[in-house]
Structure 1
Amino acid sequence: MPASTALVWFRRDLRLHDNDAFAAACEADHVVPVYCFDPRDYGPCDFGGTDSFVFQKTGAHRARFRLESVADLRSSLRDRGSELVVRVGHPESVLSSLADAVDADVVTMHTWPTAEERQVETAVTKMLDEAGVESRQFWGHTLTHVDDLPMDLADVPDTYTTFRKAVEAESEIRPPSPIPEIPSLPVGAPNAGDIPTVSDLDSTLAPPTRDDRGVLPFDGGETAALDRVESYIWEGDHLRAYKETRNGMLGSDYSSKFSPWLNEGCLSPRYVQAEVDRYEDLRVANDSTYWLTFELRWRDFFQFQFAKHGSEFFQRGGIRHRTDIDWQADDTQFERWASGRTGIPFVDANMRELNTTGYVSNRGRQNAASFLANNLRLDWRRGAAYFETHLVDYDPASNYGNWAYIAGVGNDSRDRYFNIVKQARQYDGDAAYVKHWIPELADLPPKYAHEPWTMTPAEQAEYGVELGVDYPEPMIHLEKSYEKLR
């Protein structure tokens, strides 16, 4: 009987642990791991649909993280006597060609719920089918497996609490699968290929520089992911206080910050849950340990929502099909928001952190999103697309689901908006975060650091901050902008 050969197509599952597509491929006599950089994921692109706009698909921070993650995966495979074949091109063409070159019997891959990712997958499976090569798809990026949901996808509740209670009561979390023994490469395996640079992927981008003000360096890859789990849960013992600290703004350990590795697939949520369970057995089980699972289920919720509603989430009216909001298009206002020059310090600090590091806290994201979508009433999708470009932990379902939620077109029947100054006082009472990212306000008392527009001309002179010169005047009257929302 001739030896069997499998290709495994790595996508946003850049890990060896708890990787069902990889494990299935390793059942063959020979396996060829492949990663393909799709040019359609880089450079300017149209958002698509009605009221479209152009945005940059992948920014430097996310590209850097992905490149490091691919390099780490290649290193791990080489340590085990295998190799990662890397190509730049359309996956449907690349995988078909490689499958033909090694006479592959099967190509395994993970699947995701958003239309864009499924379109690529469909193109790949179609070309493989035409070539007579079997393709096998696996679901492996959520805490609860899609087959273990207590309801059909069409019946997934549109409210998180209802979803969570049903899943908690009626579903089990599968244990993470171990790293399999990796078969050898076939004779005549294709050359490994070079891993491109950030500039190779998008000539308009340069490798981002590290800024010491960032909460973490966020090194890409499975190795860094497992190190982060070890340092946060075990060495630092931060899990026991997670619920109390998770809304922090400064420092490496106010929250787990697992999201970059989860969303690029360097870290399995089931592995994280297994570590939480082990922590509860060995140290303590409390509200904080439960709350990390609670947040992982939030992530699941949006994955299954996108599987249910599809591209409706990317429409301006969202899954609620709202037509009553008068969304504005103002490039000048948008650019002030994007560059952190709104004159509202709490918004500006978060946008400057995002632009500089590719990361911003959950609390910061909510406030920045609320300001754009609610106070300015600019098309929320432009803000979500800007986050897509820059976030090192971008995931389409989580990003667009949360933006739609804040904009009032998603999974909430209520109109949601944040009182920006109130939020700033609650979560940055001493203005340490604002001053960290807006040094021109460093000498102001906290009240004025959050509301510099309340200073008199004499106070501006006293503190050396002249509005409109040293720091922008507010682009809108903040309090008046809430009136239309009440």
Structure 2
Amino acid sequence: MKTAVVWFKTDLRLHDNETLMKALAQSDQIVPIYCFDALHFETTEFGFKKTGSFRAQFLLEAIEDLDKNLRELGSGLLVVKGKPEIEIPKVVQQFKAVKVFAKREVSYEEKQVEIKVQAELFKLKCELQTFSTSTLYHAEDLPFSIKNIPDVFTNFRKKTEKDATVRATFDKPNAVISPEIPPLNLPSLADLGLTFEAIDNRAVLQFKGGETEGLKRLQHYFFETQCLSQYKETRNGLIGADYSSKFSAWLALGCISPRYIYRELKKYEQQFGANESTYWLIFELLWRDFFRFMFKKHQNKMFQPWGITEAKAGPKTVSHKLLENWINGRTNVDFVDANMLELKFTGFMSNRGRQNVASYFCHDLKLDWRFGAAYFEQQLIDYDECSNWGNWAYIAGVGNDPRENRYFDIGKQAAVYDKNKAYRKLWLGK
């Protein structure tokens, strides 16, 4: 029998998963695996964990859900822990697999791991086949090559909307034939070097990982409440579950696909009508695409102090006192402090909050923006490498912002978006 390994990464779903569907079409049986890469749980050069407790908990829930959904189709998920370039070849040898199917990476570190895995598989005469499954628009369908993608979002968006189309989604498989997969063996948070932190009950949402929960959230936000029709008006909110879609956490781990969201949104428009709000959700998915393609284009530049600019000034120094005060909501700027406490105790913060605290960090405190980005990397449930580092570079003035010195007047922002101080009272108690 022709056996293939399907290596799940940040595509933890059965619906619209080209990697999985191609593996099923080309094989007699598949072995679905997930590898807990030790690299993802290390402490970075900035002193923060690459994965903090909130996101790790969400990840464990997502993997558990994927295993449950696979078992319902006659398969299951094999979990391994260690370096993928060591663990995946072991699984290939164990099951005599001839191919490994996986999601294609764009970010520098992930790309290096992919190259190492490919080299080890080559020694076993096993092919690694990768598929692009993370974006709304497929890279091959863009009206420009990756190296010629405009560095300004508006130019990218207008031409893409005009000249490219969104591909159809892949259906969820009806059955998955696999050799016997042992019961799920998940590491604990302690095994990953972390301790459990409950999400504070003031959180906008008690996020729970997994495809099942992601699809449920879409159903709620679109069809049950029709909140989508007011998205553009409410998206700058700060309190409550429904001021925005909150899809970001499920998108980040691939528990839901952007093309599936697009497909359901088009159904919604047919049922309830299209308006600026329904378009605006697609607009936000395009931003997500843009940053992913920027990482593909600029690679490691996005992690340098000067970003994609040519002004190669040395990194700014970091005052650990100022950094700690910012993290712990002790800057004495109430709007910044409220947002930072929400992030600390829930692993989430609104888009409006993120822009304000990042602007304050870069332009008021004048600290090295990469420390802020690294803290977000540790803390956010919905951390997405390209969106996080791309947005931080943007606000720091070393990314894709066509305007120089983008500065947020925090007092003015607070007066507009929290005029009755309800948000600040919620988090600061005053």
Fold equivalence (TM over 0.5): yes
Equivalent position of 2:323 in the other structure: 334
Structure 1 residue 323, shift from structure 2 partner: 4.3
Structure 1 residue 193, shift from structure 2 partner: 4.9
Equivalent position of 1:283 in the other structure: 272
The structure with more radius of gyration: 1
Structure 1 residue 112, shift from structure 2 partner: 2.1
Instruction: Tell whether the 8 Å contact from 2:237 to 2:350 is kept in structure 1 after alignment.
Output: yes
Instruction: Give the Cα separation in 2 of the matches to 1:428 and 1:126.
Output: 53
Q: What per-residue deviation string (whole Å, max 9, x for no partner) do you get for residues 352-404 of structure 1?
A: 00010100000000001011111011000000000000000001100000000
Instruction: Give the Cα separation in 2 of the matches to 1:67 and 1:54.
Output: 24
Equivalent position of 1:420 in the other structure: 410
Instruction: Give the Cα separation in 2 of the matches to 1:136 and 1:247.
Output: 41
Instruction: Give the Cα separation in 1 of the matches to 2:372 and 2:330.
Output: 15
Equivalent position of 2:217 in the other structure: 228
- 1:99 paired with 2:92, answer yes
- 1:199 paired with 2:198, answer no
Structure 1 residue 191, shift from structure 2 partner: 3.4
Instruction: Give the Cα separation in 1 of the matches to 2:176 and 2:168.
Output: 24
Instruction: Tell whether the 8 Å contact from 2:34 to 2:78 is kept in structure 1 after alignment.
Output: yes
- 1:41 paired with 2:30, answer no
Equivalent position of 1:16 in the other structure: 14
- Provide the TM-score with structure 1 as the length reference: 0.86
Structure 1 residue 210, shift from structure 2 partner: 2.7
Instruction: Give the Cα separation in 2 of the matches to 1:191 and 1:289.
Output: 44
- 1:345 paired with 2:334, answer yes
Q: How does 1:13-92 map to 2 (within 5 A)?
A: 13-27=11-25, 28-46=27-45, 53-92=46-85
> What percentage of aligned pairs have identical amino acids?
47
- 1:246 paired with 2:235, answer yes
Distance 1:326 1:377, change over 3 A: farther
Q: Relative contact order, CA 8 A, sep 6+: which one is greater? A: 2
RMSD: 1.2
For residue 274 of structure 2, what is the amino acid of its counterpart?
A
Instruction: Tell whether the 8 Å contact from 2:199 to 2:347 is kept in structure 1 after alignment.
Output: no
- 1:434 paired with 2:424, answer yes
Equivalent position of 1:309 in the other structure: 298
For residue 289 of structure 1, what is the amino acid of its counterpart?
T
Instruction: Give the Cα separation in 2 of the matches to 1:29 and 1:326.
Output: 53
Q: What per-residue deviation string (whole Å, max 9, x for no partner) do you get for residues 243-272 of structure 1?
A: 000000000000001000001110000000
Instruction: Tell whether the 8 Å contact from 2:54 to 2:199 is kept in structure 1 after alignment.
Output: no
Instruction: Give the Cα separation in 1 of the matches to 2:20 and 2:171.
Output: 11
Structure 1 residue 176, shift from structure 2 partner: 1.0
Q: What per-residue deviation string (whole Å, max 9, x for no partner) do you get for residues 169-189 of structure 1?
A: 000001111012434223xx5
Equivalent position of 1:480 in the other structure: none
Equivalent position of 1:478 in the other structure: none
Q: Aligned to 2:144, which of 140, 151, 155?
A: 151
Structure 1 residue 192, shift from structure 2 partner: 4.3
Structure 1 residue 327, shift from structure 2 partner: 2.2
Instruction: Tell whether the 8 Å contact from 2:51 to 2:378 is kept in structure 1 after alignment.
Output: yes
Instruction: Give the Cα separation in 1 of the matches to 2:397 and 2:386.
Output: 16
Instruction: Give the Cα separation in 2 of the matches to 1:359 and 1:434.
Output: 16
Structure 2: stretches of 5+ with no match in the other structure:
none
Q: Name the SS of the counterpart of 2:31 in structure 1.
A: strand
Structure 1 residue 325, shift from structure 2 partner: 8.3
Equivalent position of 1:174 in the other structure: 167
Instruction: Tell whether the 8 Å contact from 1:26 to 1:181 is kept in structure 2 after alignment.
Output: no
Instruction: Give the Cα separation in 1 of the matches to 2:318 and 2:70.
Output: 48
- Displaced runs of 4 or more, over 4 A: 323-326
Equivalent position of 2:284 in the other structure: 295
Structure 1 residue 236, shift from structure 2 partner: 0.8
Instruction: Give the Cα separation in 1 of the matches to 2:9 and 2:176.
Output: 20
Structure 1: stretches of 5+ with no match in the other structure:
47-52, 442-486
Greater mean deviation of Cα atoms: 248-257 or 113-122: 113-122
Instruction: Give the Cα separation in 2 of the matches to 1:366 and 1:140.
Output: 28
Instruction: Tell whether the 8 Å contact from 1:101 to 1:190 is kept in structure 2 after alignment.
Output: no
Equivalent position of 2:116 in the other structure: 123
Q: How does 1:396-475 map to 2 (within 5 A)?
A: 396-413=385-402, 414-439=404-429, 441=430
- Provide the TM-score with structure 2 as the length reference: 0.98
